[in-house]
A and B are shown apart, each in its own frame.
Chain A
Amino acid sequence: MLTALATLLSHYRRHPGQLAMLLLGLWVASALWSGVQAINTSARDSYARAEALFTTGLDRLERQDGEALTREDFVRLRRAGLPVSPLLEGELEASDGTSLRVIGIDPLTLPGDSAFATAGSRGELTAFFTPPWQTRLAPDTLTTLGVDVSNAEQAKGAEPALADGQRLPPLVIAPALPPDTLVMDIAVAARLLDRGTTLSRLVTAPDALAVAPEGMVLTRVDTRISPGQLTESFHLNLTAMALLALVVGLFIVQAALGLALEQRLGMLRTLRALGVPGRRLVALLAFELILLGLLGALAGIVSGVWLARALLPDVAATLGSLYGTGVGAELSLPWHYWLGGIAVTLGGLLLAGAGVLWRAARLSVLGLGHAQAWRAGYHRQLRRMALAGVPVALGGLALWAWLSRQPAGEGLVAGFMILAALLLTGALWLPPILATLLAGLARLTRGRPLVQWALADLQLQLPRLSLAMMALLIALAANLGVSSMVGGFRLTFLDWLDQRLVADLYLHPPAAQFDEIDAWLASQTGVAERLATRHAEAVLSEVDYREAPGERPPAALDLPVSVYGITPGETLTPRWPLLSTLAGREAAWQAFRDGEAFVNEQLAIDQGLSPGDRLVLTTPTGETSLDVVAVYPDYGNPRGEVLLSTSQLAQRFQAPPGSLGLVLAPGADEAALAEALTTRFGLGRDALQDQREIKRISTTIFERTFSITRALSALTLVVAGLALLTSLLAQARERRRRLAPLWALGVPRTRLITVQLAQLSGVSLLTALLAVPLGITVTAGLVAVINVAAFGWRLPLHLFPGEILLTVATAVVVALLAAALPSLSLWRTPPRALLAEEQAA
């Protein structure tokens, strides 16, 4: 038994390249898969922590005039019997410059269901709220504070210094907290943040207060929006990419295994002839497979973790800036992650190796493997593949038909399944299509013997190449799809930014000074227009649909929406994009000025709204009924939003003043105005923002998001290239034998190599050309199905011919590179050796 195993494995001593290829395939596939899984696991853990943070589940009270609440307000309300609790929130700078979020709480009045528990408290209450107090923080925040993490005992109770020299209260580890968040008693928080008696806000248990106390604004916790939906789609995207990489990687493995078996057929027969039972032989091969699988999977997981470490800060930054979710940049992996990684890789490997084992099991002791015999079988296989593609395609179509009748904004998983069906159909139909095309070409090229031979030979190679070509097709289509989506998104987003950010300066004046500053600005000649905004929260309580009144009765709802106020002046209106209007842009803006509303695309899709419908919004102060006159795009906003003119919003919702956009007159001195504002009104540096700066920040956030998608998609293409190379190496020697007679007939070696390169680049070109329509369909699916389901808004479909050409060219180059190695060895082989090989065969 051992001898038999040693004999089997000895093959790899003679062909270390094959072993390397096998392991490479396994390694790359499992590295990509486990890397992405590592990111997902880590990020999910972070959301769970962020969602569990107590401050997120509470209603909040602030003063209507925007001034800070104080301890006196807190005591006054408590003594009036209102169950409010003070909360202080602020930023502190760690000694390494990282900004830390500080939350100061009063554990004695914090509502309910003791939120204090989420701060990870199981220690003493007294120690929390009496000197020297405590700093509760997650373990991954320790490094930010410069605390030695290796010694947990030492970390506990440390009092690290901040950038400004102040020391934090003794540390207490609370793993449930989000990263870079410090929770402490309000007494010490007020001291560290130097806030005196002021508060950030008062909080109360959800719905504990029916109305806001006089002079205050009550913001109810929004239970509808959960970062879950949004981030789920991001992760689904990542997972789909990783799965793709795994599949492509397994194509490599399949090819390498096939080769290893093919070359050992003789050895296997000898072993059988020597009396090793067929069953044992299969068991030994399976054992070999598992051994290789374990090696590959372990290596893959280790590099996967490394990959995740490299990508995670980007992912964390992206999610953090997009969704306001803090994601730990430290990787923390549960044990099942490791087991899962190995299981997936081994499962995939056995799937890929099953065919090989099947063939080995049916190996006849005396039979000889014939390329021609293979080909006969391959015809049957092609028919089967073509047939198998039909139900997959039909399934995809059925799913699409089902999805189109679903309410908008749902069916994210179904959307991805449609894409999977699309890619699978493409892959299954590729070999039959290639075979048909080649046969057709062969008929066209009668009379050109070498070309005809090349085509016929390519037909013969197809069984081996088809897997690699399928991998290439999938990788190319996905690559095209993703790059068009990213490109399209980028274009749309930048346009939208330009349309939205029309003012040159954005000012956030303190509420108390608003009127004074506004009046002063009105008197400045350099300021051409002031665009005031306001913001309020309301509940969409009823929708009265205009169309088909009989069929669609008014719907009673309870949906929190933001209400946003803009100034429809001459600067804004021409540039503000509208998707649909009731009676044209002009009429829509006129109605808007008269007090009617616009809704964003998210709300329109979510509630099936169209211009002409009537909304009833409920606020603590009463009800307001509004006509929808237009729908506008609102990229990147996860929430439903209703747009009103600022003056209407102020009137109807008593919304506090918000920011002020300043459009400057031509030639006005921006710097002087900013300077005058800061000195005259004592505004902080945060109060004034430059439009260019906002654009820069937005663009950076955006670029980060997609750098990860791009990186993964490029990696997939690399894996596809490797698959192709492996397939070619697998048949290199056999091909050489086939070329020898041609050389003997007088075809020069250079010509032979050219023919070989042309064959391969030709078939890659065909595959790439087939990938183009597939890729465009994938893009359409991404923007019209996936995006709507994930974000609630549709992206316009943008195609980039340059990118498409580049992808096709990449495919050909990858094929040529893959073909270069076998060609080089052919170039090096003396023709005599070729003949000798031919004779030996």
Chain B
Amino acid sequence: MTQLSSNCRLSGLPRALLLILLLLSLQGVARCEPHTVSEEEGLQSFAGLGADAGGFVQARPGTTLRFPEDHGPHPDYRLEWWYLTANLEDAAGEPLGVQWTLFRQAQQPPAERPEAPGPWAADQLWMAHMAVSKGDAHRMAERFARVGSRQSDPERDQAGVTADPFRAWLDDWSMVSHVSEPGRDALDRLTLSARAGPDDARFGYRLTLEAQGPLVHHGENGFSQKSADGQGSIYISQPFYRVSGEVTLHGEPHQVTGRAWLDREWSSQLLGSDQAGWDWFSLHLADGHRLMAFRLKGGGTDGGDYLSGTWITPEGETTSLDDSALDLTPLTTSAVAGREVPTRWRLQAPDQGLDLTVAAPHANRWMPTTVSYWEGEVNVFDHASGEPRGRGYLEMTGY
């Protein structure tokens, strides 16, 4: 007879609360009793990346990668992502940045998943982030989905990735392969589309990505060690995309061109238990070289930081850089979202003759998502002369 109504819509709480929820949940099955997480605890094992791998398949050196299968999901590993960043320009030459990320997080080790899970089973949690930035504007959105990995037809799920034909999606956000020629990698030609926000504040993109070079395997044939005691992940990239398409911001479309970088990574225990976050660079240099470099806080040989990187020639040949061949030094920090985040860095790789300054032109690229982090465009300069050397993206976690 009557419908109850709610005059009191609850607002305010959501994000902060979900953040805590997710931080807790991401810490995995090892913790059973509900408890509140302290800031320190949350940082200690950022997003659960340092949680024990118990029951999951471990990433190991010597793993043979097979494509296109390995473009698809690896549900028996705890964590996985398809991570794309793009440095773009509009018709007027104004720079724009775009991010699209699909995370997969297994909720139960393979052995604990029920035989007959039912249609709503959720042993995999999928999470997608998207962001568009231009000047001082930075818009982002986040979505979630549940998926049972034993479902027979992944095409009928709310989120997922299929390897052949390659397609990654969550809701209407998708990254789809358009490669038809045999012998070419599925990731060589992609369309990427996502949008969010109400009409007048809509933001999103529809981009075409063409790879100009091969897939790159980091570390030891794709096994990228993440701490001195051997923790690591399988890590491959496609850093050679040329991009064209349309980006929408504040409801207005912009025709864009530029470069993009796709990271693929999966693991069950990415970080050592004593590691609390990272600073991660993916740079497109003007001479056609690419550089991936990261610094993990903790986990180094003497309890120091763990540094690693890959020097990539325009042809896709790689040189691994360890902490003796690489140096990362924060120069200045900016106050962002109540935190002090380094937004100007010195990056040195003497063997490659690199002494660079990497600086974020806009500091406000904080992603206030469930698991929050800084992700934004950076400009690369020669440290001595200050001459522009390229562009790229920087991701910083654990601040």
A429 and B28 alpha carbons, distance in the complex (Å): 77
A56 and B10 alpha carbons, distance in the complex (Å): 12
A443 within 8 Å of B (CB atoms)? no
Q: Are A637 and B21 in contact (CB under 8 A)?
A: no
Q: Are A114 and B4 in contact (CB under 8 A)?
A: no
Q: Say which residue of B24, B107, B172 sits within 8 Å of A81 (CB atoms).
A: B172
| Closest-CB distance, B125 to chain A (whole angstroms) | 7
A222 and B2 alpha carbons, distance in the complex (Å): 10
A53 within 8 Å of B (CB atoms)? yes
Given contacts A221-B5, A222-B5, contact A75 B158 (CB under 8 A): yes
Chain A residues whose C-beta falls within 8 Å of the C-beta of B122 in the assembled complex:
108, 129-130, 185, 187
Q: Are A114 and B14 in contact (CB under 8 A)?
A: yes
Most buried by A among B119, B125, B157, B172: B119
Q: Nearest CB to that of B195 among chain A residues?
A: A81
B1 within 8 Å of A (CB atoms)? yes
Given contacts A126-B107, A325-B4, contact A187 B144 (CB under 8 A): no
Chain A residues whose C-beta falls within 8 Å of the C-beta of B44 in the assembled complex:
none
Q: Are B34 and A75 in contact (CB under 8 A)?
A: no
A78 within 8 Å of B (CB atoms)? yes
Q: Are A52 and B172 in contact (CB under 8 A)?
A: no
Q: Are B5 and A56 in contact (CB under 8 A)?
A: yes
Chain A residues whose C-beta falls within 8 Å of the C-beta of B117 in the assembled complex:
187
Chain B residues whose C-beta falls within 8 Å of the C-beta of A108 in the assembled complex:
122, 125, 144-146
Given contacts A114-B13, A197-B119, contact A75 B4 (CB under 8 A): no
A113 within 8 Å of B (CB atoms)? yes
A190 within 8 Å of B (CB atoms)? yes
| Closest-CB distance, A566 to chain B (whole angstroms) | 17
| Closest-CB distance, A93 to chain B (whole angstroms) | 21
Chain A residues whose C-beta falls within 8 Å of the C-beta of B4 in the assembled complex:
50-51, 53, 56, 226-227, 324-325
A125 within 8 Å of B (CB atoms)? yes
The digit string for A623-662, where 1 denotes a CB below 8 A from any CB of B, is 0000000000000111100000000000000000000000
Q: Are A221 and B107 in contact (CB under 8 A)?
A: no
A685 within 8 Å of B (CB atoms)? no
Chain B residues whose C-beta falls within 8 Å of the C-beta of A56 in the assembled complex:
3-6
The digit string for A62-91, where 1 denotes a CB below 8 A from any CB of B, is 000000000110110011110000100000
Interface 9-residue window, one of A115-123, A261-269, A568-576 = A115-123
B9 within 8 Å of A (CB atoms)? yes
B171 within 8 Å of A (CB atoms)? yes
A221 and B120 alpha carbons, distance in the complex (Å): 26
Q: Say which residue of A127, A190, A324 sits within 8 Å of B2 (CB atoms).
A: A324
Q: Are B2 and A121 in contact (CB under 8 A)?
A: no
B306 within 8 Å of A (CB atoms)? no
| Closest-CB distance, A107 to chain B (whole angstroms) | 8
Chain A residues whose C-beta falls within 8 Å of the C-beta of B112 in the assembled complex:
131
Chain A residues whose C-beta falls within 8 Å of the C-beta of B192 in the assembled complex:
none
Chain A residues whose C-beta falls within 8 Å of the C-beta of B24 in the assembled complex:
123-126
A362 within 8 Å of B (CB atoms)? no
Q: Say which residue of B9, B20, B145, B169 sits within 8 Å of A109 (CB atoms).
A: B145
A493 within 8 Å of B (CB atoms)? no
Q: Are A52 and B120 in contact (CB under 8 A)?
A: no
Q: Nearest CB to that of A190 among chain B residues?
A: B120
A118 and B172 alpha carbons, distance in the complex (Å): 28
| Closest-CB distance, B105 to chain A (whole angstroms) | 9
| Closest-CB distance, A710 to chain B (whole angstroms) | 24
Q: Are B195 and A114 in contact (CB under 8 A)?
A: no
Most buried by B among A50, A113, A121, A230: A113
Within 8 A of A (CB), among B18-49: 18, 20-22, 24-25, 28-29, 31-32, 34, 36
B156 within 8 Å of A (CB atoms)? yes
Q: Are A637 and B5 in contact (CB under 8 A)?
A: no
Q: How many A residues have CB within 8 A of the partner chain?
A: 61
A680 within 8 Å of B (CB atoms)? no
B384 within 8 Å of A (CB atoms)? no
A75 and B156 alpha carbons, distance in the complex (Å): 7
Q: Are A124 and B21 in contact (CB under 8 A)?
A: yes
B353 within 8 Å of A (CB atoms)? no
A23 within 8 Å of B (CB atoms)? no
A114 and B28 alpha carbons, distance in the complex (Å): 22
B17 within 8 Å of A (CB atoms)? yes
Most buried by B among A123, A126, A190, A221: A126
Within 8 A of B (CB), among A446-466: none
Chain B residues whose C-beta falls within 8 Å of the C-beta of A222 in the assembled complex:
3, 5
Q: Are A223 and B17 in contact (CB under 8 A)?
A: no
The digit string for B46-68, where 1 denotes a CB below 8 A from any CB of A, is 00000000000000000000000
Q: Are A223 and B5 in contact (CB under 8 A)?
A: yes
Chain A residues whose C-beta falls within 8 Å of the C-beta of B121 in the assembled complex:
187
Q: Are A114 and B17 in contact (CB under 8 A)?
A: yes
| Closest-CB distance, A519 to chain B (whole angstroms) | 31
| Closest-CB distance, B195 to chain A (whole angstroms) | 7
A409 within 8 Å of B (CB atoms)? no
Q: Are B146 and A129 in contact (CB under 8 A)?
A: yes
Q: Say which residue of A74, A113, A114, A226 sits within 8 Å of B5 (CB atoms).
A: A226
Chain B residues whose C-beta falls within 8 Å of the C-beta of A185 in the assembled complex:
120, 122
Q: Nearest CB to that of A198 among chain B residues?
A: B119
Q: Nearest CB to that of B1 among chain A residues?
A: A324
| Closest-CB distance, A816 to chain B (whole angstroms) | 47
| Closest-CB distance, B17 to chain A (whole angstroms) | 6
Chain B residues whose C-beta falls within 8 Å of the C-beta of A117 in the assembled complex:
10, 13-14, 17
Within 8 A of A (CB), among B113-135: 114, 117-123, 125
A130 and B120 alpha carbons, distance in the complex (Å): 10
Given contacts A114-B13, A124-B34, A125-B24, contact A52 B6 (CB under 8 A): yes
Q: Are A123 and B3 in contact (CB under 8 A)?
A: no
A761 and B21 alpha carbons, distance in the complex (Å): 73
A191 within 8 Å of B (CB atoms)? yes
Within 8 A of A (CB), among B129-168: 144-146, 156-158
A741 within 8 Å of B (CB atoms)? no
A472 within 8 Å of B (CB atoms)? no
B11 within 8 Å of A (CB atoms)? yes
Chain A residues whose C-beta falls within 8 Å of the C-beta of B32 in the assembled complex:
127
B7 within 8 Å of A (CB atoms)? yes
A-B contact pairs, 27 of them (CB 8 A): A53-B6, A56-B5, A72-B156, A79-B158, A86-B120, A106-B120, A108-B122, A108-B125, A114-B14, A114-B18, A122-B34, A126-B24, A126-B25, A126-B107, A129-B122, A131-B112, A185-B120, A186-B120, A187-B118, A190-B119, A190-B120, A222-B3, A225-B3, A225-B5, A227-B4, A228-B7, A638-B2
> Could you tell me which A residues sit within 8 Å of B by CB distance?
50-54, 56-57, 71-72, 74-75, 78-81, 86, 106, 108-109, 112-118, 121-127, 129-131, 185-187, 190-191, 196-197, 206, 221-228, 230, 322-325, 636-639
The 3 closest A-B pairs by CB, nearest first: A57-B6, A81-B172, A126-B25
Apart from A56-B4, A78-B171, A129-B122, what 12 extra A-B contacts exist at CB < 8 Å?
A: A57-B6, A108-B145, A124-B24, A125-B22, A129-B107, A129-B146, A130-B122, A130-B123, A196-B119, A221-B3, A222-B3, A222-B5
> Could you tell me which B residues sit within 8 Å of A by CB distance?
1-14, 17-18, 20-22, 24-25, 28-29, 31-32, 34, 36, 107-108, 112, 114, 117-123, 125, 144-146, 156-158, 169, 171-172, 195
